[in-house]
Amino acid sequence: MSALSVKVDHVAALRAIKKLKEPDPIQAAVIAELAGADGITAFLREDRLYIRDRDIYILKELVKTQFTLQMAPTDDLMELALEVKPWRVTLMPFDKNDSEHGIEFEKDYDRYASAAESLQNAGIYVCFFINPEHDDVKAAARAKVNAVELNAHAYSVCKTAEDCASELEVLEQSAQIASKLGMAVNCGGGLDYRNIPPLVDLDCIEEFTIGYAITSRAVLSGYEYAVREMAELIH
């Protein structure tokens, strides 16, 4: 059975709009675990726009399941990760503060391999966020990481059934290659309530990282209650 790691970045993005304390991604993480999440993920961007250093320290202490820190292997973020020691670090591309791009190994392979080794030596489970391309899967295997997270963006933005089927096949083939090379296979990037079932049915992906779709659904599904509560206070 596949696992779900809930990404709390988009709650932090709402907090950043007003630069206040709410909504707090820490509270979101607690609610997600109580609701059945198998893990919590937070992406600490180089510019700290949404998730903050403070969030990472608190999540490490409060998360009862498995806490994943997503980050690029910059010097300051590596220092923080080695101090905090989350259960897993998923290394992300440099200067690509979104989930539309996988790691560009042609430019930075040695730096990623070195970062992975340092993190693993500290007892941290290491994953690479990669595009579902055979060369990238093999590059991750050469770095001896524990897992890869396949970037599902191309699949998530498909407009036709034919395109979806084609991208699904690409993901499946990459997952099978990664598995044969001894790595666990995760998947993330634009997944939602509509497109997740076919991926689950592949039965070759161990974990899905999902954030935006859950936050969007939560905003609307809880909106009526929130409006009624405020109306009662005012009326």
pLDDT digits (tens, 9 = 90+) for 84-139: 999 999 999 987 666 678 999 998 999 999 999 999 999 999 999 999 999 999 99
Convert the pLDDT of each residue in 155-188 to its tens digit.
Answer: 999 999 999 999 999 999 999 999 999 999 999 9
**Spatial CA neighbour of 132 closest among 204, 69, 71:** 204
3-234 CATH: 3.20.20.70
Domain assignments of the chain as residue spans, ordered by start: 3-234
125: Cβ–Cβ under 8 A, 6 or more apart, which residues? 87, 88, 89, 146, 147
pTM to 2 decimal places:
0.95
Task: Report the alpha-carbon distance of residue 40 to residue 28 in Å, rounded.
Answer: 10
